[in-house]
A and B are shown apart, each in its own frame.
Chain A
C-alpha cells in the first residue's frame, strides 16, 4: 500500500511500470555518481585529487572505528529532523521552520538539565524530562504557523521561516541574557556533565541518540504508511479537497501535523544536547533542518531511504571535517555534494518522466 510520490519532479501522478531494471538502476545510482563526479571537478579545480579526497573521507568516516562512531552519533539528531520533515511533507505541509524549533528546544534543554542534575535528580529522570521538554518546546514554537495555516489558510512557508529566524534570535537572547553559565567567560549555557548524558551504545562512543533517531524514523515511516492516522494525513497532503469531501477535519489534522513535526524537530535539539553537545554556545546554529530537506526529498520521503541518505550525509560531513584539517578542503564541500545530488536527481526524474511520456506515445 504505497503511493509513489515524485516530489522533485513536481508531478502528482505516481506509479512505475517497473519493467526496465537497467533504467531503474541507472536512475538510482546515476545521480549519485554524477554528483560525485561534478564534486570531483570542483575538487580538481581546487587542486585536490578527487579520488584521494573521496578515499580519505570514506576512510575517516566509515572505515576507521572512531570515525564510524562519530558518523553514527551525528546521525541521531539528523534522523529526528528527517522524521520531522517526512511527517510534514507527506501531509503536504512545508514546515521549513525546523531550525528555530530545534535551537529553541536545544537551549531550553541545555538550560534546564544541568540544573536538574546538580539538584541531584537521577540521570534517567533528567534525560526523560529533557527529551520531553525538547519535544514540547519544539511543538510550542509551531503553534502560531499551525493556527494561521489551519484557520486562515496562510502559507506556512512564510510563517515557519519567520518563526525560525525569530526562534534562532530568541535562542541567542536566552543564551546570552537568561541562561548564561556564570562559571565561564564565553557566552554559553551551563554544561551537562558527560556522565549525565544519553548512555553510549555498548562499548563504543556512539550515543544512544542514534537509537532514538532510528526508532523514531522507522515509527514515523510505519505511521505514515501503515496506520489509519497516517493515511488521513496523506489524504490531506495529496488532495485537501478530497479530505474535506471524505469528512476529515483538515484543520485538526493540519495542527496535528505541525505538532508532531515540530515536536520531532525539538526532540532532535534535545538529543543533540543530551547526547553530544552538553551545552549551547552563543550564536551556535547547525541549521540541520534546511540541510536535511534535500535529503528526505532524495529519499522520496521514505523513512528507510532517509536513513541511508542521512548516513551518507553524516559520513560526508564527518569525513569532510577531517579532510578540512588534513587536505585543506573545507567541510562546506558536503553541502555542495548534497546540492549537486539534489539537482542531478531532479534531472534524472525529468529524464524518467520524458522517457515514460515517450513510451506511452
Chain B
C-alpha cells in the first residue's frame, strides 16, 4: 500500500493540515517564550479563518485574504494584550472567553452574510518551483506548494535565527524567564510581551486564513476545530525550538490527512480512528518524556515593576 501516490498524498495532506498548526504553534511558542500562555489561540485561528475568507471572497484575491486573516488574528490578540498583558487578568480565563467570543461572533456574521449564498472560493494555485518541481516524487512533495507554505518554512528558520542570534531572542527569553531582569536592562517587558502576543495573533490568523482560503475554500463556523489547542500542546512540547514545531505539525497533519491517503491506497479506515492518533501520540510522549515538558518560569504571570 505504500505506493508513490500514497506517500505523496499523505505528505501533501500533512502539509495542508499541518500548516495552520505550524503557523499557530510558532506563534504560541513565541508567546510562551515571552511568558504569556495564549489559550485564546483557537479564537485567533478562527478569526483569521473568517476574515481571510471574507476578504478573499470580496476582493477576489487570496493574497489579500491571507493579510486579512493575519489582521483579524492580531485584533483578537490585541484584546489579549489589553486584558492579560496590560491589565494582568487571568490568562486562561480570558483566553477561553476570547475563544468563545470569536466562535459566537464569526458564526453570527457568517450566518448573516453567507447563510443563503454559501459562496466558495476557487482552489488556490500552487507555485511550482521551476526545475525542482519536475524531480519525480521529491518534486511534487516539496516544490509544488501554496506560496504560504514556502513562506512558513522560511519563517521557521527566521524564528530559529531570531531566538538564537538576535537581541530580540534574548529579550523574549528574559521576558518569560525573568521579566524583572529585562526591565532592569531597559527593555519594556509589557511591550516585549505585547509584541509577542500580537505576532502570535498574526500567525494564528494566517493559519486560520490558510484553512479557509487555501484548504477548504469556504468558511464554516467552528472550523478551527481544536487546532488552536493542539498548537498550544505542540508549542509546549517543542520547548522553544521552532524546528520541533515544524516536525510536530507535520506529524499531526499526517495523522489528520491519513484517511484521505489511505482511501487513495484503497484502505477504508474511519476518520475518527485516525483523528485519535495525534492526541494518543501526545499522551504517549508525555507518559514517556514525563517531567521534561518544562515551561518558562514566569509563564502565566503578569508583570508589575518593583513587585516581587
Contact = CB atoms under 8 A, between A and B. Distances in A.
Touching chains A and B, CB distance < 8 Å: yes
Interface of A: 7-10, 42, 46, 94, 144, 148, 152-155, 157-159, 161-163, 165-166, 169-170, 172-173, 176-177, 290-291, 293-294, 297, 329-330, 332-340, 342-343, 346-347, 349-350
A336 B105 contact: yes
B275 A169 contact: yes
B297 interface: no
B93 A342 contact: yes
B-side interface mostly:
helix
17 contacts: A10-B88, A94-B92, A144-B287, A154-B286, A154-B293, A158-B236, A165-B230, A166-B276, A166-B279, A169-B276, A293-B93, A332-B104, A332-B221, A337-B104, A339-B97, A340-B101, A347-B87
A97 B229 CA distance: 12
A169 B232 contact: no
Interface in B48-98: 79, 83, 87-94, 96-98
Contacts of A350: 87-89
Given A173-B272, A350-B89, A335 B103 contact: yes
Contacts of A336: 100-101, 104-105, 108
Contact of B233 (A9, A162, A177, A291): A162
Interface of B: 39, 79, 83, 87-94, 96-101, 103-105, 107-108, 111-112, 221, 226, 229-230, 232-233, 236, 270, 272-273, 275-276, 279-280, 282-283, 286-287, 290-291, 293, 295, 302
A166 B280 CA distance: 7
Closest 5 CB pairs of A and B: A335-B104, A339-B101, A336-B104, A332-B107, A342-B97
A162 B282 contact: yes
Given A153-B291, A342-B97, A158 B275 contact: no
A329 B112 CA distance: 8
B279 A163 contact: yes
Given A152-B291, A339-B104, A297 B93 contact: yes
A294 B40 CA distance: 13
B276 A173 contact: yes
B108 A46 contact: yes
Contact of A291 (B100, B283, B291): B100
Contacts of B88: 9-10, 350
Given A7-B90, A162-B282, A346-B94, A339 B100 contact: yes
Contacts of B236: 155, 158
Nearest to B79: A343
A78 to B, nearest CB: 15
Contacts of A330: 107-108, 111
Contacts, number: 146
A8 B108 CA distance: 27
B13 to A, nearest CB: 18
B79 to A, nearest CB: 8
A294 B283 contact: no
A42 B83 contact: no
Contacts of B287: 144, 148
B290 A152 contact: yes
B115 to A, nearest CB: 8
Contact of A173 (B79, B99, B270, B286): B270
Contacts of A159: 283, 286
Contacts of A347: 83, 87
Contact of B100 (A42, A169, A290): A290
Contacts of B87: 346-347, 350
Given A330-B111, A339-B101, A165 B90 contact: no
A298 to B, nearest CB: 10
A30 to B, nearest CB: 16
Nearest to A43: B108
Nearest to A346: B89
A359 B289 CA distance: 49
A162 B89 CA distance: 25
Contacts of A166: 276, 279-280, 283
A346 B93 contact: yes
Nearest to B226: A165
B272 A172 contact: yes
A169 B279 contact: yes
A20 B66 CA distance: 51
A166 to B, nearest CB: 4
Nearest to A283: B272
B294 to A, nearest CB: 10
A166 B83 CA distance: 31
B270 A161 contact: no
Nearest to B89: A346
B90 A163 contact: no
A149 to B, nearest CB: 11
Nearest to B86: A350
Given A161-B233, A346-B97, 20 more contacts: A7-B90, A94-B92, A154-B290, A155-B236, A155-B293, A158-B232, A158-B282, A158-B293, A159-B283, A161-B229, A163-B283, A166-B280, A169-B273, A169-B279, A173-B276, A332-B221, A338-B104, A342-B93, A343-B101, A347-B87
B111 A158 contact: no
A158 B233 contact: yes
A256 B293 CA distance: 24
B104 A343 contact: no
Nearest to A354: B87
A286 to B, nearest CB: 12
B108 A339 contact: no
> Which of A177, A294, A339 is packed against the most chain B CB atoms within 10 Å?
A339
A269 B295 CA distance: 34
